[in-house]
Amino acid sequence: MSQNPTQIIVFDTTLRDGEQAPGFSMDVPSKLTIARALEALGVDIIEAGFPIASPADSEATRQVAREVRRPVIAALARTRQADIEEAARALEPAERSRIHTFLATSDLHLERKLRISREACLEQIIDGVRLARNFTDDVEFSAEDATRSDRDFLCRVVEAAIAAGATTINLPDTVGYATPEDLREFFEEIRLRVPNADKAVFSTHCHDDLGLAVANSIAAVQGGVRQIECTVNGIGERAGNASLEELVMAFRVRRDRLPYETAVKSEGLYAASQLLSRITEEPVQSNKAIVGRNAFAHEAGIHQDGVLKDARTYEIMRPQDVGQEPEQLVLGRHSGRHAVQKRCEMLGLLLTHDELGLVYHAVITMGEHRKAIGDGDLRRIVERVRSGETAGPGNASAHPEAVGSGHGVS
- Residues of this chain that bind Zn ion (CB under 5 A): 17
Closest among 298, 302, 334, 308 to 406, alpha carbons compared: 302
128 binds ligand KIV (CB under 6 A): no
Q: Is residue 142 a contact point for ligand KIV (CB under 6 A)?
A: yes
Provide, rounded to whole angstroms, the least separation between the CB of residue 72 and ligand KIV: 16
Which member of 11, 24, 102, 296 binds ligand KIV (CB under 6 A)? 102
Residue 334 interacting partner from Zn ion, ligand KIV, none (CB closer than 5 to 8 Å by kind)? none
Q: Which of 172, 292, 306, 336 binds ligand KIV (CB under 6 A)?
A: 172
Residues 6+ apart with CB under 8 A from 34: 14, 15, 26, 232, 275, 276, 279
Classify 92 as helix, strand or coil: coil
- E-strand stretches of 232-380: 297-298, 328-329
What residues numbered 351-390 form the site for ligand KIV, per CB under 6 A? Answer: none
Q: Does 85 bind ligand KIV (CB under 6 A)?
A: no
* CB 184, min distance to Zn ion, A: 20
Selection from ligand KIV, Zn ion, none that 144 binds (CB < 5 to 8 A by kind) is ligand KIV
Question: Quick check: helix, strand or coil at residue 214?
Answer: helix
Q: Per CB under 6 A, does 205 bind ligand KIV?
A: yes
- Which amino acid is it at 201? V
Nearer to Zn ion, 19 or 299 (CB): 19
Residue 14 touches which of ligand KIV, Zn ion, none (Cβ within 5-8 Å per kind): none
Is 81 in contact with 52 (CB distance < 8 Å)? no
Spatial CA neighbour of 351 closest among 379, 390, 319 = 379
Q: Specify the residue, 102 or 186, whose C-beta has the smaller distance to ligand KIV.
A: 102
Tell me how far apart the alpha carbons of residues 97 and 88 are, in angstroms, rounded to a whole number.
9
Tell me, what DSSP letter sits at residue 95? S
Q: Are 194 and 162 in contact (CB under 8 A)?
A: yes
SS3 386: helix
Measured from the CB atom, the residue of 171 and 249 that comes closer to ligand KIV is 171
Which span sits near ligand KIV by CB under 6 A: 27-35, 167-175, 215-223, 277-285? 167-175
CB of 184 to ligand KIV, least distance (A): 19
Q: What is the DSSP string of 348-375?
A: T-PPPHHHHHHHHHHHHHHHTT-S-B-H
Strand spans (E) along 218-266: 227-230
Work out whether 17 is an interface residue with ligand KIV (CB under 6 A). yes
Question: For residue 359, what is the DSSP state?
Answer: H
At its nearest, how many Å lie between ligand KIV and the CB of residue 356?
Answer: 55
CB of 323 to ligand KIV, least distance (A): 28
52 vs 358 by CB, closer to ligand KIV = 52
Q: How far apart are the first and last CA of the chain?
A: 44
Q: Which residues bind ligand KIV (CB under 6 A)?
A: 17, 102, 142, 144, 170, 172, 174, 205, 207
